[in-house]
Amino acid sequence: MTQAIPARVRASAPAERFAAIVGEPFATPAGSADRVDGIAPRIVVRPASVDEVRAVIRTCGDLGLALVPTGLGRHLDVGAPPERCDVLLRLDRLGGILDHQPADMTATVAAGCSIAVLREALARHGQWLAVDPPCPEATTVGGMIAANLSGPLRASQGAVRDLLLGIEIVAADGALVRGGGRVVKNVAGYDLPKLHVGALGSLGVVVSATFKLRPRPPLERAIAVDCEDLDQAALVALAVRDALDPLWLAIEVPAESEGHPAPAASSAAARAIVGVAGIAAEVEDAVMRVERVAGVRGLASHPIAGATAVREDLASFPLRPAAAVLRASTLPGSVAACSRALVDAAASEGTRVAILADVATGVLRALVPAPRAVAPLVRRLRPALVAGGGYLVVERASPVVKQLLVGDADAWGDVGGGLELMRGVKTAFDPARLLSPGRMPGGI
């Protein structure tokens, strides 16, 4: 069906050609909700099989139409605005867990399967995919890979790249290309899967992926240490990192403003929050060590009920209401200074930011409430961070804000030496610039 498109169809309008592939109900004119960073596609196409994805992409190639892949549309605000978007390729019908071998601790999952569905299936076997992207119900496996989403678990379990064993993508010419494999250790050929992590679909459309799973720890606990300021919170977090193996480790700085008093739980100026996991003896010991780290500094620590829910809540931090989410990366030891710079810069722009920092990885996020403050903040903060070897990106922003992110305040900033190679990779993989054009750094 996908190979031989009748001449009658070939000559017809794009909508009809896509309808001939996926069926009329699944090739529909785009509405305002389908905009990508404010740019309206002409049509939304929802293929139900890998063959249909291939046919759709070949058709896009024939007609010179640019496409942006998406799952459930929840993370389309990540990245720079596409330079063109004719087709929104929704992969939500490409669902299902294709293969789960509990005893091998691997799972192969279709791109459109939601993280929540996957999680539930794995939990029945006492396992998990140890990545906790925001909003698992509305996040697909493909979206998690394309946008390189993760949550607090990254501190100890690694990011998507560390758990992705294999991938199947549909390339710009419609070819089905496989990289990696289904076994937990494999160095045959180039590690193509890693290239697609965080690539926002610009090198190919992910249709399935194989992951390394882990046994889910029997117990999980969360402990908070209320601190006087964020410098102290960062010191406490680093001391915790050195005293035990936390499951995750964050510092949180609430944006306290007159209009929105902070809730009682976060009345401290900043707090360090620690997740620990393991068997009972390990968890008890870890909690005691966190208490000791706090105690020697004269700080109170207290357990927070519902550790998993606490972690999920922190995971969803980037989706809290804001005009933009800034993501700064620095070294673990510089998290406090970086957070301080963010808070101060926000103050001089007349706004307040909420910050959540992963002290283990040195990656922090700030929610900026005021749309007009975003670009000035980026201009103010980026040079110093970059000079120190770090990065500042606008991870998410509303379409209005993105329009203002131009020049030295663009969403990504300067990526440095690798840019030429990255452009080369894009040109080699997608010479006609059909796949998410413009969404990656440097206009890639």
Partner 1 sequence: MSTSGLAQRLRAVVGDDAVVDRREALLVYECDGYTLERAAPDLVVLPRTPEEVAAVVRLLAADGIPFVPRGAGTGLAGGTLPVAAPVMVCTSRLTEIESVDVRNRRVVAQAGVVNLKVTRAVEGEGLLYAPDPSSQAACTIGGNAAENSGGPHTLKYGVTVNHVLGVELVLPSGDVVALGGAVEDRPGYDLVGVVVGSEGTLGIATRLVLRLTRAPEGHRTLLAVFDSVDDASEAVSGIIAAGIVPAALEMMDRLILQAVEAAFRAGLPVDAGAVLIVEVDGPAAGLDEHARSVADVCLRHRAREIRRARDEAERALLWKCRKRAFGAVGRLAPNYCTQDGVVPRTRVPDIVRAIAAIGERHALRIGNVFHAGDGNIHPIILFDERDAGEVRRVLAAGEEILEACVALGGSLTGEHGIGVEKIRQMPLLFSPDDLGWMVRLRSVFDPEHRANPHKVLPDAKVCVEARAPRRQAAM
Interface of this chain with partner 1, residues 268 to 297, rule: CB under 8 A: 278-279, 281-282, 284-286
Q: Which of 6, 25, 321, 417 binds partner 1 (CB under 8 A)?
A: 417
**Longest Cα–Cα distance in the chain:** 79
Is 440 a binding residue for partner 1 by CB under 8 A? The answer is yes
Least distance (Å) between residue 393 CB and partner 1: 5
Q: Which of 23, 29, 215, 306 binds partner 1 (CB under 8 A)?
A: 215
Is 326 a binding residue for partner 1 by CB under 8 A? The answer is no
Site for partner 1 in 124-163 (CB under 8 A): 126-127, 158, 161-162
105, 127 contact by CB (below 8 A)? yes
Is 51 a binding residue for partner 1 by CB under 8 A? The answer is no
Nearer to partner 1, 371 or 443 (CB): 443
Q: Which of 198, 369, 437, 438 binds partner 1 (CB under 8 A)?
A: 198
Q: Where are the alpha helices (DSSP H) in 205-279?
A: 230-243
Is 318 a binding residue for partner 1 by CB under 8 A? The answer is no
Would you give the binding string for partner 1 spanning residues 330-369, x where CB under 8 A is met?
A: xxxx---------------------------xxx------
- Please state, in angstroms and rounded to a whole number, the distance separating the CA atoms of residues 325 and 397: 6
Q: Which stretch binds partner 1 (CB under 8 A): 5-13, 314-322, 368-376, 417-425?
A: 417-425
Site for partner 1 in 218-237 (CB under 8 A): none
- Please state, in angstroms and rounded to a whole number, the distance separating the CA atoms of residues 31 and 95: 23
**Phi/psi of residue 381, nearest 5 degrees:** -95, -35
Q: Which of 63, 121, 184, 262 binds partner 1 (CB under 8 A)?
A: 184
Least distance (Å) between residue 218 CB and partner 1: 8
Q: Which of 25, 185, 259, 321 binds partner 1 (CB under 8 A)?
A: 185
- Please state, in angstroms and rounded to a whole number, the distance separating the CA atoms of residues 245 and 227: 21
Among left, alpha and beta (phi > 0; psi -120 to 50; other), residue 407 is left
Least distance (Å) between residue 373 CB and partner 1: 21
Is 432 a binding residue for partner 1 by CB under 8 A? The answer is no
For residue 151, the SS3 value is: coil
Site for partner 1 in 9-48 (CB under 8 A): none
Least distance (Å) between residue 209 CB and partner 1: 15
Q: Which of 121, 176, 262, 269 binds partner 1 (CB under 8 A)?
A: 176
Helix (H) or strand (E) holding 215: strand 214-215
Residues 6 or more apart whose CB falls under 8 angstroms from that of 370 comprise 323, 349, 350, 351
CA torsion through residues 155, 112, 199, 194, sign: positive
Strands 87-90 and 67-70: parallel
Q: Which stretch binds partner 1 (CB under 8 A): 53-61, 111-119, 213-221, 368-376?
A: 213-221
The count of residues interacting with partner 1 (CB under 8 A) is 82
Site for partner 1 in 243-272 (CB under 8 A): 244-245
Q: Which stretch binds partner 1 (CB under 8 A): 29-37, 43-51, 312-320, 434-442?
A: 434-442
300, 259 contact by CB (below 8 A)? no
Is 444 a binding residue for partner 1 by CB under 8 A? The answer is yes
Q: Cα–Cα–Cα angle for 337, 341, 342, nearest 5°?
A: 120
Nearer to partner 1, 22 or 200 (CB): 200
- Please state, in angstroms and rounded to a whole number, the distance separating the CA atoms of residues 197 and 195: 6
What tokens were used for 78?
């990540």
Measured CA to CA in angstroms, residue 394 lies from 141, 174, 401 at distances of: 22, 32, 10
- Please state, in angstroms and rounded to a whole number, the distance separating the CA atoms of residues 92 and 160: 20
Least distance (Å) between residue 242 CB and partner 1: 7
Site for partner 1 in 386-415 (CB under 8 A): 389-391, 393, 412-413, 415
For residue 353, the SS3 value is: coil
- Please state, in angstroms and rounded to a whole number, the distance separating the CA atoms of residues 416 and 165: 28
Q: Which of 84, 327, 340, 433 binds partner 1 (CB under 8 A)?
A: 327
Least distance (Å) between residue 25 CB and partner 1: 31
CA torsion through residues 315, 36, 43, 192, sign: negative
